[in-house]
Chains A and B, each alone.
Chain A
Amino acid sequence: MSAAVHAPGLKPGRIVLYALLALFAVFYLLPLFVMIVTSFKSLDEIRLGNMLSLPQQPTTEAWLAAWQTSCIGLTCEGLKGYFWNSIKMVVPAVFISTILGSLNGYVLTKWRFPGHRWIFALMLFGCFIPFQSVLVPMALILGKLGIAGTTAGLVLVHVVYGLGFTTLFFRNYYEAFPNELIRAAQIDGASFFQIFRRIMLPSSGPIIVVTVIFQFTNIWNDFLFGASFASGDSAPMTVALNNLVNTSTGVREYNVYMAAAIIAALPTLLVYIISGRYFVRGLMAGAVKG
């Protein structure tokens, strides 16, 4: 039996399977490959029409152009300003929605009050509201608050719409967190926030990583809210990318578009690569018998 398991060489079924998987992988990665090679080509080389060929004379001109000199609307200063807009939006929005979500989860599991189920149900309901349906009321509220068309306004919108999800994540994680730890800490004299900061948060590593990845990806990639609530100079990266491609200067600079698109996607990739490493399970082992 064990001989069969360790049989050298591949069976025909396996070969077919791997070949198929490889084919799918190539198919899936092909657009990325085209994007990368195109972004390092000059426009002349692109005009030759051979999409899949490697760049003959690799050049970073397109990347520099996308970052610094490409025209978005009437200004030609590249994506860099909008990139920082997005950073200024995504960092506070992710931070605030994650902290509030964990506080909500903490209260909804460990400091239950009458009606806590309703509150949670309503927050969950918030996750399923189509964003398009709230654009007008949200615009009115932002206007009343005097932060319409600003990055701060966009942060508020993303925090509000992220809360349902972050609360859901943390609530479900803390649900399994032993209540006896909270009781022990209460007897030890820790306050509401001391318990949160000293005991809950340090044990929340995995769920914080999940929430941050989720929120970062959603907020960074959001186009609808960005296009609706932050126009012009405060627009986020996604909106700027769209405007870049739609700003006509007579020539369609595919190499610049490709470089710009990759720049726009890079931060989410980085977040996956960096935080993924901290996605360590079993931090809770040993708190209770197990």
Chain B
Amino acid sequence: MAFLEIRDVKKRFGGTDVLKGIDIAIEQGDFLVLVGPSGCGKSTLLNLIAGLDQLSEGEIWINGVMVNDLHPSKRDIAMVFQSYALYPNMTVAENVAFGLEMRGVPKPERDAAIAEVAKTLQIEHLLKRKPSQLSGGQRQRVAMGRALVRKPQVFLFDEPLSNLDAKLRVEMRTEIKRLHQKLGATIVYVTHDQIEAMTLATQIAVMNAGEIQQLGSPKEIYNRPTNTFVAGFMGSPSMNMIPATLASDGVQIASGNGAPISLRLPRGRTHASSGRPVILGLRPEAVTDPGAADRNGVITDANCHVEVVEPAGSDTFAVTRLGGVEVIARMRADTDLKPGQTAPFAFNMEKAVLFDPQTGSRID
């Protein structure tokens, strides 16, 4: 049995199905990120694991114990909230130790635990302050300290970084990852930020409308999305989805002016059903200027009309139009492309994904 197992969990609020049967299993030390747009049910699922909400159907097991009917404090979990939820009337030290105090841990042990956690998180100098005297990043650390001090079996994070400014968010992201590596803790982390999901997770569950769209490692999710939702949600800029037609050795895309573009698929990925309409999924980094293309890939060059050029510092994104939709290409930073120009683009089909236009599912 897996360390944390969620079996066919359903949640209804009134007449609405918020979760429609969730199955997840992760091992000890895994970092599971629940990611999805607002209202997809990811926070609800986290609350169910915490025991802050009652599930309608299904089972949740933590380390061989079914926790469905256990009070949150008995589940051996700790949670970091989006708003930090620090007790305003207590000092940092009291905040960190409150859970231990409630569990009847004697004062000397509590003090030792506070000192240890404070050292790990570098908040020793803040211990005597009240939460109102802390900055956002410091509050975040204290909130994590409160979770760490209890040494729970599972850590739950509910969008912990979304109240921080961009720079601090990146710092704390690294900090959380470092902590995970150091402690080997099992973590369930909710976010709507797909970059956080990619950077932190060992397992990602992409959710939408109360269902898991795909559960897998960040690499699997990124390279082999099961459907167009996952493909579009993960990655920034998001994957290009180009209407195309299957041909004997690849796909054909209608180009705005002139002959259709033929793109060859890697050997073994060709499909017999010629003429079938498909959606070709190509990440922006798979559409580049010929000079920057990875020549080990399956490259086809084609002339495209450049509509917009967006320099982003490390790269320059060029927008063109293929099969009637906008296609974003990731060019070298120093490219000399100009809007209105027609220039050769290199299409790397190594990691191309095909989807069924009706169902949106991936075609293998």
Question: Which of A187, A198, A282, A286 has a CB less than 8 Å from the CB of B78?
Answer: A187
* CB atoms of B72 and A187 under 8 A apart: yes
- The interface centre, meaning the residue of B77, B86, B133 with most chain A CB atoms within 10 A of its CB, is B86
Is A246 located at the chain interface by the 8 A CB criterion? no
* CB atoms of B52 and A183 under 8 A apart: yes
> Which A residues are CB-close (under 8 A) to B72?
183, 186-187
Question: Which of B77, B89, B132, B139 has a CB less than 8 Å from the CB of A187?
Answer: B77
Is A185 located at the chain interface by the 8 A CB criterion? yes
* CB atoms of B83 and A203 under 8 A apart: no
- The interface centre, meaning the residue of B71, B102, B130, B131 with most chain A CB atoms within 10 A of its CB, is B102
**Minimal Cβ-Cβ distance residue in A for B82:** A180
* CB atoms of A188 and B98 under 8 A apart: yes
Is A284 located at the chain interface by the 8 A CB criterion? yes
Cα A187 to Cα B163 in complex, Å, equals: 22
Contacts A178-B85, A188-B98, A188-B102 known; A183 to B79 CB distance under 8 Å? yes
Q: Interface 1/0s, chain B 194-212, versus A by CB < 8 A?
A: 0000000000000000000
Question: Which of B79, B88, B99, B131 has a CB less than 8 Å from the CB of A189?
Answer: B99
For A, the interface residue count at a CB cutoff of 8 angstroms equals 24
> Which A residues are CB-close (under 8 A) to B73?
186-190
Contacts A186-B73, A187-B78 known; A287 to B85 CB distance under 8 Å? yes
> Which B residues are CB-close (under 8 A) to A178?
83, 85
Is A289 located at the chain interface by the 8 A CB criterion? yes
B315 CB, nearest partner CB in chain A, Å: 33
> Which A residues are CB-close (under 8 A) to B99?
187-189
> Which B residues are CB-close (under 8 A) to A190?
73, 98, 102
Is A199 located at the chain interface by the 8 A CB criterion? yes
**Minimal Cβ-Cβ distance residue in B for A188:** B99
Cα A284 to Cα B83 in complex, Å, equals: 13
A98 CB, nearest partner CB in chain B, Å: 18
Cα A132 to Cα B163 in complex, Å, equals: 54
Is A283 located at the chain interface by the 8 A CB criterion? yes
> Which A residues are CB-close (under 8 A) to B103?
189
> Which A residues are CB-close (under 8 A) to B82?
180
Cα A283 to Cα B82 in complex, Å, equals: 21
Is B4 located at the chain interface by the 8 A CB criterion? no
Task: Kindly identify, within residues 71 to 129 of chain B, every residue whose CB is under 8 Å from any CB belonging to chain A.
Answer: 71-73, 77-79, 81-89, 98-99, 102-103
Cα A283 to Cα B130 in complex, Å, equals: 11
B358 CB, nearest partner CB in chain A, Å: 43
> Which A residues are CB-close (under 8 A) to B89?
199, 202-203, 283
Is B322 located at the chain interface by the 8 A CB criterion? no
* CB atoms of A285 and B50 under 8 A apart: no
* CB atoms of B52 and A186 under 8 A apart: yes
**Minimal Cβ-Cβ distance residue in B for A205:** B89
> Which A residues are CB-close (under 8 A) to B183?
none
Is A194 located at the chain interface by the 8 A CB criterion? yes
> Which A residues are CB-close (under 8 A) to B146?
184, 188
Cα A285 to Cα B71 in complex, Å, equals: 30
Contacts A189-B99, A284-B88 known; A184 to B131 CB distance under 8 Å? no
Is A288 located at the chain interface by the 8 A CB criterion? yes
Is A141 located at the chain interface by the 8 A CB criterion? no
Contacts A286-B139, A289-B136, A289-B163 known; A181 to B85 CB distance under 8 Å? yes
* CB atoms of A185 and B132 under 8 A apart: no
Is B292 located at the chain interface by the 8 A CB criterion? no
- The interface centre, meaning the residue of A184, A186, A189, A285 with most chain B CB atoms within 10 A of its CB, is A184
Cα A190 to Cα B146 in complex, Å, equals: 14
Task: Kindly identify, within residues 129 to 169 of chain B, every residue whose CB is under 8 Å from any CB belonging to chain A.
Answer: 130-134, 136, 139, 146, 163
Task: List 4 additional contacts besides A186-B71, A199-B89; criterion CB under 8 Å.
Answer: A184-B87, A187-B73, A188-B99, A287-B86
Give B contacts to A, CB under 8 Å: 50-52, 71-73, 77-79, 81-89, 98-99, 102-103, 130-134, 136, 139, 146, 163
Q: Mind listing 21 A-B residue pairs with CB under 8 Å?
A: A181-B85, A184-B79, A184-B81, A184-B85, A187-B72, A188-B73, A189-B99, A189-B102, A202-B89, A203-B89, A283-B89, A286-B132, A286-B134, A286-B139, A287-B83, A287-B88, A287-B131, A288-B85, A289-B83, A289-B84, A289-B139
